[in-house]
Amino acid sequence: MLMSSAQTEVAQRSFARSLPALSILALAMLLGFAAMQSFGTVQEGAKAEMGLSDYALSLIQGLSAALPLALFSIPIGILVDRHHRVRIMIALVGAFVAGTWATALASGPWMLFVARMLAGVGATGALTAALSLSADLCAPDQRGRALVIVGLGKSLGQAAAFGVVGELFGWFVAHPAAFGGIAPWRGSHLALAALATLLMVPLFFLREPPRREVATGLHAPFRVVAGALWQRRGFLLPLFLGQVSVVMADAAGVIWAAPVLARVFKLQPQDFAAWMAPLMFVAGTAGAALGGVSADLGQKGARRGGLLIGAIVAAAIGIPAALFPIAPSVPAFAVAFGTLILCGSLTGAATSVALTVFIPNELRGLCIGAFLAVAGLIGFGLAPTLVAATSGLLGGEQHLAGGLAIVGVATSVVSLIAFIVAMRRAPIGQRPI
Nearest to 154 by CA among 19, 28, 251, 61: 28
Cα–Cα distances (Å) from 38 to 101, 110, 149, 157, 423, in that order, read 12, 18, 21, 9, 35
pLDDT tens per residue, range 28-62: 999 999 998 888 888 888 888 888 888 788 778 77
pLDDT tens per residue, range 289-335: 888 888 878 777 667 778 889 899 999 999 999 999 999 999 999 99
Give the chain as a 3 state SS string. Answer: CCCCHHHHHHHHCCHHHHHHHHHHHHHHHHHHHHHHHHHHHHHHHHHHHHCCCHHHHHHHHHHHHHHHHHHHHHHHHHHHHHCCHHHHHHHHHHHHHHHHHHHHHCCCHHHHHHHHHHHHHHHHHHHHHHHHHHHHHCCHHHHHHHHHHHHHHHHHHHHHHHHHHHHHHHHHHHCCCHHHCCCHHHHHHHHHHHHHHHHCHHHHHCCCCCCCCCCCCCCCCHHHHHHHHHCCHHHHHHHHHHHHHHHHHHHHHHHHHHHHHHHHCCCCHHHHHHHHHHHHHHHHHHHHHHHHHHHHHHHHCCCCCHHHHHHHHHHHHHHHHCCHHHCCCHHHHHHHHHHHHHHHHHHHHHHHHHHHHHCCHHHHHHHHHHHHHHHHHHHHCCHHHHHHHHHHHHCCHHHHHHHHHHHHHHHHHHHHHHHHHHHHCCCCCCCCC
Across 208-217, 283-292, 380-389, least confident range: 208-217
Contact indicator for 166, 119 with CB cutoff of 8 Å: no
For 12-22, what is the mean pLDDT? 75
For 350-363, what is the mean pLDDT? 77
Cα–Cα distances (Å) from 250 to 143, 177, 213, 340, 412, in that order, read 24, 36, 32, 7, 9
Cα–Cα distances (Å) from 118 to 168, 355, 430, in that order, read 22, 26, 37
Across 77-91, 142-156, 181-195, least confident range: 142-156
Q: Is the dihedral of CA 265, 390, 419, 323 positive or negative?
A: positive
- Using alpha carbons only, what angle is made at residue 370 by residues 115 and 26, rounded to the nearest 5 degrees? 60
Contact indicator for 75, 369 with CB cutoff of 8 Å: yes
Contacting residues for 170 by C-beta, under 8 A, at least 6 apart: 184, 268, 269, 270, 273
**Whole-number pLDDT of residue 10:** 47
Between 266 and 11, whose confidence is greater? 266
Q: Which of 84-88, 162-166, 253-257, 359-363 has the highest mean pLDDT?
A: 84-88
Task: Give the Cα separation of 117 and 36 in Å (integer).
Answer: 9
Domains and CATH numbers, the chain: 20-204+232-424 (1.20.1250.20)
pLDDT category at 429 given cuts 50, 70, 90 is low
Nearest to 285 by CA among 161, 412, 147: 147
* Average confidence score pLDDT of the chain: 83
Between 66 and 279, whose confidence is greater? 279
pTM assigned to the model = 0.66
pLDDT category at 87 given cuts 50, 70, 90 is very high
Orientation angle between helical segments 309-321 and 233-264, nearest 10 degrees: 30
Cα–Cα distances (Å) from 334 to 151, 155, 166, 271, 328, in that order, read 21, 16, 16, 13, 11
